């Protein structure tokens, strides 16, 4: 197979002055990295307001992510950046509130539920295929926007039993792009100890967050009104599950605002991160014809006797490995921050309470100690024996431990359906002269978009 090394930001040859690194991080979290970042086990950056530790040693990563959640809680840095959209959702809550939310939401994501929403995912993929047939796909396709539309459509169908319009998809794409740029800037200033009320970024981000929340809140209001009026409501979607959720210990139910908070994280985690990974996956596929031909053969076999069914998913093993490799090279969340709640000692460093420990899927997935040819796109690696150990200790696109992503199985199922549907009908090629530029704020996207040439298969 052709060895394809996809783009990543240029590494600085040596460690930068902390102040220089701080200013370089204003626009992107992975640009201040230097060559040794991809080899180090643990590093630190000391700012006037806070000390940050970057942990890449698998044993320590496991200790941070799999320990008692009260020992290494979700960093307040995350709520600082995301509370305008997510409120006190399961993504950024801690302690008893997080435990209660987890008890209430776990049943909605068991394997039975994932299987039951398969037809809704297929409907969204079929709607995407129709848009492509009607002209959305062509010689210069903004594939990141198209993946935002289809993944948002999947989420709207599975949460609300409603399709997602093109107008709303473009609004989400544009508003979240503005929001995450401002929220990231606000987070960086917070690290420097700037008071929240002085942060221009946070107040400017409010209007973009409000637009996104209104798109999510509107169907919640409609559903609650239908229930109050005694109307029939859909039984199989996530919104119904959340409305009926009860804490088995206290009997508590979600309020209307709490429903929007939880749906906010389901929507963002379920569409923004998946859209990012799918866009990068299609860029990788476009640059390695052998991979694309093998995926097309899988798709042809699966669709040969009719629509894709849940039972056929196991026949798309290589397609799944391609997506797993895209998640390795371009993890949608590049850094996972945790706060030290008590004094810790790691690699001869005394860590004080309040310090931030960053676990980085971006660095772990490209670390020279953990992977063969870490910068090469190689979906075949997942069938090699030596990769099993690499996966076990250094593969964490969905995090690990008690706070592992609830929607991991959802995301993998969704991605395989979408990729197989595209491979059935289309051949994707690079656009001459276009090279995406990875930029990481809240999620990993391309600064200049991801454009592909799409040709209808004969």
Does residue 172 sit within a domain?
yes
At 207, list the tokens. Answer: 């209007």
Q: What is the pLDDT of residue 410?
A: 87
Task: Give me the chain's average pLDDT, please.
Answer: 87
Question: pLDDT band at 91, cuts 50/70/90?
Answer: low
Secondary structure of 106-134 in HEC code, one letter for each residue: HHHHCHHHHHHCHHHHHHHHHHHHHHHHH
Does residue 10 sit within a domain?
no
Q: What is the pLDDT of residue 151?
A: 93
Residue labelled with tokens 């221009």: 200
Would you say residue 260 has pLDDT above 70? Answer: yes
Does residue 3 sit within a domain?
no
Q: What is the pLDDT of residue 189?
A: 67
Q: Which range has highest mean pLDDT (79-93, 172-186, 371-385)?
A: 371-385
Would you say residue 418 has pLDDT above 90? Answer: yes
Total Cβ atoms within 10 A of residue 228: 8
What lies within 8 Å, CB to CB, of 167 at 6+ separation is none
Strand partners, 148: none
Strand partners, 358: 54, 337
Host domain of residue 233: 18-456
Question: What number is the average pLDDT over the span 350-357?
Answer: 92
Would you say residue 20 has pLDDT above 80? Answer: no
Instruction: Pick the more confident residue, 245 or 141.
Output: 141
> pLDDT (tens digit, 9 = 90+) per residue, 96-106?
887 887 787 77
Q: Are strands 426-430 and 451-456 parallel, antiparallel or unpaired?
A: antiparallel
Share of the chain above pLDDT 70, in %: 89
Question: What number is the average pLDDT over the span 78-94?
Answer: 70
Does residue 11 sit within a domain?
no
What lies within 8 Å, CB to CB, of 285 at 6+ separation is 291, 292, 295, 322, 419, 428
Does residue 176 sit within a domain?
yes
Question: pLDDT band at 241, cuts 50/70/90?
Answer: confident
Instruction: Pick the more confident residue, 209 or 136.
Output: 136
Running DSSP on this structure, what letter comes out for residue 454? E
Angle (CA) 442 211 182, round 5°: 35
Residue labelled with tokens 């960053």: 358
Would you say residue 198 has pLDDT above 60? Answer: no
Our count of domains for the chain comes to 1
Total Cβ atoms within 10 A of residue 431: 17
Would you say residue 87 has pLDDT above 80? Answer: no
Question: What number is the average pLDDT over the span 225-234?
Answer: 90
CATH code where residue 365 lies: 1.10.630.10
Q: What is the pLDDT of residue 196?
A: 57
Does residue 409 sit within a domain?
yes
Question: What number is the average pLDDT over the span 361-390?
Answer: 94
Does residue 9 sit within a domain?
no
Would you say residue 186 has pLDDT above 80? Answer: no
Q: What is the pLDDT of residue 111?
A: 56
Question: pLDDT band at 208, cuts 50/70/90?
Answer: confident
Question: What number is the average pLDDT over the span 376-401?
Answer: 93
Does residue 167 sit within a domain?
yes
Question: pLDDT band at 405, cuts 50/70/90?
Answer: confident
How many angstroms separate the Cα of 40 from the Cα of each of 15, 44, 57, 329, 439?
12, 11, 8, 18, 22
Share of the chain above pLDDT 90, in %: 49
Question: pLDDT band at 355, cuts 50/70/90?
Answer: very high
Q: What does residue 455 show for φ and ψ, rounded to 5 degrees?
A: -120, 135
What lies within 8 Å, CB to CB, of 370 at 6+ separation is 58, 364, 390, 393, 394
Would you say residue 191 has pLDDT above 80? Answer: no
Residue labelled with tokens 């100690």: 369
Query: How far is residue 406's CA from residue 238's CA, in Å, rounded to a whole number?
Result: 13
Please provide the distance, in angstroms rounded to a whole number, between the alpha carbons at the two ends of the chain.
24
Question: pLDDT band at 18, cuts 50/70/90?
Answer: low
**What angle separates helix 289-303 from helix 408-425, to the nearest 10 degrees?**
90
Query: How far is residue 10's CA from residue 21's CA, in Å, rounded to a whole number?
Result: 14
Question: pLDDT band at 57, cuts 50/70/90?
Answer: very high
Query: How far is residue 263's CA from residue 270's CA, in Å, rounded to a whole number?
Result: 10
Q: What is the pLDDT of residue 154?
A: 92
């Amino acid at each position: 197979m052709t060895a394809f090394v996809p783009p990543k930001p240029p590494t600085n040859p040596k460690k930068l002055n902390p102040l220089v690194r701080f200013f370089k991080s204003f626009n992107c979290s992975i640009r201040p990295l230097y060559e040794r970042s991809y080899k180090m086990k643990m590093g630190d950056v000391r700012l006037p307001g806070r000390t940050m530790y970057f942990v890449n040693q698998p044993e320590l990563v496991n200790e941070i992510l799999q320990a008692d959640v009260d020992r290494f809680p979700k960093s307040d840095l995350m709520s600082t950046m995301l509370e305008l959209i997510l409120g006190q959702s399961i993504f950024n809550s801690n302690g008893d509130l997080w435990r209660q939310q987890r008890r209430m939401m776990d049943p909605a994501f068991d394997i039975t539920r994932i299987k039951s929403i398969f037809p809704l995912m297929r409907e969204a993929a079929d709607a995407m295929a129709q848009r492509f047939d009607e002209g959305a796909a062509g010689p210069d396709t903004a594939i990141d926007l198209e993946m935002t539309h289809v993944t948002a459509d999947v989420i709207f169908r599975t949460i609300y039993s409603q399709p997602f319009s093109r107008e709303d998809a473009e609004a989400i794409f544009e508003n979240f792009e503005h929001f995450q740029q401002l929220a990231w800037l606000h987070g960086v200033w917070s690290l420097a100890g700037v008071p929240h009320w002085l942060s221009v970024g946070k107040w400017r981000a409010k209007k973009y967050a409000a637009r996104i929340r209104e798109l999510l809140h509107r169907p919640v209001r409609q559903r609650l009104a239908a229930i109050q009026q005694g109307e029939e409501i859909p039984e199989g979607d996530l919104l119904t599950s959340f409305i009926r959720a009860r804490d088995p210990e206290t009997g508590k139910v979600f309020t209307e605002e709490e429903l929007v908070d939880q749906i906010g994280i389901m929507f963002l985690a379920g569409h923004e991160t998946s859209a990012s990974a799918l866009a990068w996956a299609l860029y990788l596929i476009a640059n390695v014809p052998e991979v694309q031909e093998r995926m097309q053969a899988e798709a042809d076999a699966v669709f040969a006797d009719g629509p894709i069914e849940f039972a056929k998913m196991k026949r798309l093993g290589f397609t799944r490995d391609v997506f797993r490799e895209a998640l390795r090279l371009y993890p949608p969340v590049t850094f996972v921050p945790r706060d030290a709640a008590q004094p810790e000692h790691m690699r001869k460093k005394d860590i004080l309470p309040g310090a931030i420990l960053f676990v980085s899927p971006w660095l772990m997935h490209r670390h020279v100690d953990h992977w063969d040819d870490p910068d090469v796109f190689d979906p075949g690696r997942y069938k090699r024996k030596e990769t099993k150990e690499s996966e076990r200790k250094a593969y964490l696109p969905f995090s690990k431990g008690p706070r592992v992503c609830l929607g991991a199985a959802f995301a993998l199922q969704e991605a395989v359906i979408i990729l197989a549907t595209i491979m059935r009908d289309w051949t994707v090629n690079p656009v001459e002269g276009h090279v995406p530029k990875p930029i990481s704020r809240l999620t990993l996207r391309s600064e200049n978009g991801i454009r592909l040439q799409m040709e209808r298969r004969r």
